[in-house]
Amino acid sequence: MKPFSTASSVCLSLILAGSLIGSAEARNLRLSHNQGEDHPVHKSMQWMADRVSELTGGDLTIEIYPSSQLGTQRESVELVQTGALDMAKTNASELEAFDPIYAVFNVPYVFADRDHFYKVITGKPGKEILQHSRDKGFIGLTYYDGGARSFYANKAINTPADLKGLKVRVQPSPSAIRMIELLGGSATPLPYGELYTALQQGVVDAAENNETALTNSRHGEVAKIFSEDEHTRIPDVLVISTFTWDSLTPDEQKALQQAADESLAFHKDLWAKDIEKARETAKNEMNVEFKEVDKEPFRKATQPFYDEVAGQSEETANLLKEIRDLE
């Protein structure tokens, strides 16, 4: 007797062919970002990657390239626009250079507090903004909380007057530059990865960010006073190339969006815990001093900015109004 009958060998060939087709159809998406693997945003995106694989039975997977291995945030978004890269995590501030609508996130004190911020990013204005850049070659899948941003330097920034004559590193974005102008400092746009050395060598005197910059990016080694004026709450944004998005099946799109939405909720808790840890580490292990400051003078100095962004287009004016209404 032959080991296999004709029928069973046909069957076997079909199974083999099926599994080959199956694996040929499995998609692996590449995602680039500029934080390390110990950063809460990386952990939340890893959670999303695991979840999407689970939801699709391994048909759709995401491979994350941290620490700017595939380029700076700007370079990564440029690659996403051409479809050479599938996904990137960037920041709403940098996205303004790609789609001016993102300027609304850069308006100082536009969010009353963390609750208001979450209402906006999970509500109608947040969703509209994520879809807005479709004709620029990418759309947003979700935001990630990036906390409140404050100034840090080797001197206290108690009032805007303390910024006079200081070179302040900002994200490469027109609004970030304008904010420093209004506060009386001198803005120096730099990619995040260059900031540690710039602070260490005195290329810049100050920077502004959330507390993870002090610990995860070790800026607390070279800047010892964190002055909590909390001028902005600018979210990180996970974007996907429209070429990639449009090539996914409706089921894959659904799974990916679900995993992204769930990772935003996962991140909300993680962020609160990790930011507490970052503050403790910065204080106790790096001797960083946290200074409470009166926010009013900062708010006053940057007030003209709200009208400037509202004046950019009817869309930004409407969005800013919707954001206010959610307060």
Binding residues for ligand GCU, per CB under 6 A?
34, 41, 73, 91, 146, 171, 192, 209, 213, 236
CB 91, min distance to ligand GCU, A: 4
Round to whole Å and give the CA distance between 298 and 302.
6
CB 39, min distance to ligand GCU, A: 7
User: 212 or 241, CB closer to ligand GCU?
Assistant: 212
Q: 3-state class of 103 per DSSP?
A: helix
User: 53 or 90, CB closer to ligand GCU?
Assistant: 90
User: 39 or 119, CB closer to ligand GCU?
Assistant: 39
CB 75, min distance to ligand GCU, A: 12
The residue number whose beta carbon is nearest to ligand GCU equals: 192
CB 133, min distance to ligand GCU, A: 17
H-type helices in 110-227, by residue range?
114-122, 124-132, 174-183, 195-200, 212-215
User: 152 or 298, CB closer to ligand GCU?
Assistant: 152
CB 144, min distance to ligand GCU, A: 8
- The two structure tokens encoding residue 183: 């506060």
CB 45, min distance to ligand GCU, A: 12
What contacts 228, CB < 8 A, 6 or more positions away?
A: 148, 150, 290, 291, 292, 293
Round to whole Å and give the CA distance between 17 and 143.
40
User: 209 or 263, CB closer to ligand GCU?
Assistant: 209
- The residues with which 208 forms a beta bridge, in sequence order, are 151
Measure Cα distances from 271 to 92, 147, 148, 268, 278 in Å.
Answer: 17, 8, 12, 5, 10
Q: Is 186 exposed, middle or buried (0-12, 13-18, 19+ CB in 10 A)?
A: middle
CB 24, min distance to ligand GCU, A: 35
Check residue 132 and give left, alpha or beta (phi > 0: left; psi -120 to 50: alpha): alpha
User: 226 or 255, CB closer to ligand GCU?
Assistant: 226
Check residue 144 and give left, alpha or beta (phi > 0: left; psi -120 to 50: alpha): beta
User: 53 or 209, CB closer to ligand GCU?
Assistant: 209
